[in-house]
Structure 1
């Protein structure tokens, strides 16, 4: 496999991202070939053993993906593209409910036991074990391709469950306030579980209904 073939294989992968172990091992020096491609700007090393192909002809020596797109790409490379989703503060960033960039990304994954991961391109990913199939998700476009993101209503519900975590209290509160204005009350009400409703969820629903005149 030539350097060009390796770059193309990674570009064809979901979210343009592959683990080194998943690159077809046609040559004994795949690692060296990948490092050459990184040095030339044809690939970007997101974290140890995971690489992405910059889109739209970008030079990887000067380009880096947004943290949320990189987090979704890494989770997809590890677990499968339809087994993971952006959630929490990262989904709120996607929905522009948290406008300021933050250094933490959160992805829902199907298994527990994975420590937070630092990115070579900056920032940190947290892997949250969730039953992804039970979440309200939508397929959305990121700078690296299509991936699953929790809907605004699901994102609001998740933020209400984690108001004090990761030192992001101010950002989470801002995200809640902005999502309250985006989400139709009936969509939020439909997601409220029969038990273990997050603290404040019913108050938020009442506020949303009042704002919508219902």
Structure 2
């Protein structure tokens, strides 16, 4: 760590460590230029156009640090829509639940508005328009922010409904669902399928228990 590296307290204390230049408008007269300086000092890591990640305290000044893709995806979504309007879902939630052990190059996050794929320096982010207040969620902590992700039950339904979302192949989706089946509460899953009008996804999921 470079002892000369500094970061304004108001930025360092932000709950979400994904920052946009506009978030520092009350700190810097010219935030975009200051952000580029902080990137050169390895205080910030450039994620994508207009988005930067603040390095953890122990990695400040280390140019090798890059944020985790899921953390970056959740942070970007929170920066634009707020903590309680977004959630990690599909294969990204499955990875967090330990049912997809290998690293993946795409993160999937639920947001309130339709939005195109985002290319970042750590992978791609797929945004899915969903009302997260209708989803079954649990807390998730990442290196950049704390927020929400779908529960195993919700994740299983989502993947069963859209098995190719995020670039999953048929083999990946089947493997993930078989692992999730061992974690889910069927009463909860059936209730979610009923409330969200997903009988087809539930039926496909149940088929896998006898496959």
Distance 2:196 2:53 in 1: 41
Partner-residue secondary structure (3-state), 1:192? helix
1:80 equivalent among 79, 82, 89: 82
User: How many angstroms does 1:203 deviate by?
Assistant: 5.0
Distance 1:49 1:129 in 2: 21
Contact 2:161 2:201 in 1 (8 A): no
Distance 1:145 1:26 in 2: 21
Distance 2:177 2:16 in 1: 28
Contact 1:189 1:205 in 2 (8 A): no
Report 1:48-59 matches (<5 A): 48-59=49-60
Counterpart in 2 of 1:157? 157
Contact 1:161 1:199 in 2 (8 A): yes
Partner-residue secondary structure (3-state), 1:158? helix
Counterpart in 2 of 1:103? 105
CA RMSD across the alignment: 2.1
Contact 2:86 2:148 in 1 (8 A): yes
Distance 1:98 1:44 in 2: 27
- Is 1:12 the counterpart of 2:20? The answer is no
TM-score after normalising by structure 2:
0.87
- Is 1:123 the counterpart of 2:123? The answer is yes
- Is 1:190 the counterpart of 2:191? The answer is yes
User: How many angstroms does 1:196 deviate by?
Assistant: 4.1
Report 1:169-184 matches (<5 A): 169=169, 170-184=171-185
Partner-residue secondary structure (3-state), 1:193? helix
CA distance change for structure 1 residues 166 and 70 in 2, over 3 Å: closer, same or farther? Answer: closer
* Deviates most, 84-93 or 25-34: 25-34
Contact 1:85 1:109 in 2 (8 A): yes
CA distance change for structure 1 residues 39 and 195 in 2, over 3 Å: closer, same or farther? Answer: closer
Structure 2 unaligned regions, length at least 5: none
Contact 2:21 2:50 in 1 (8 A): yes
Distance 2:36 2:184 in 1: 45
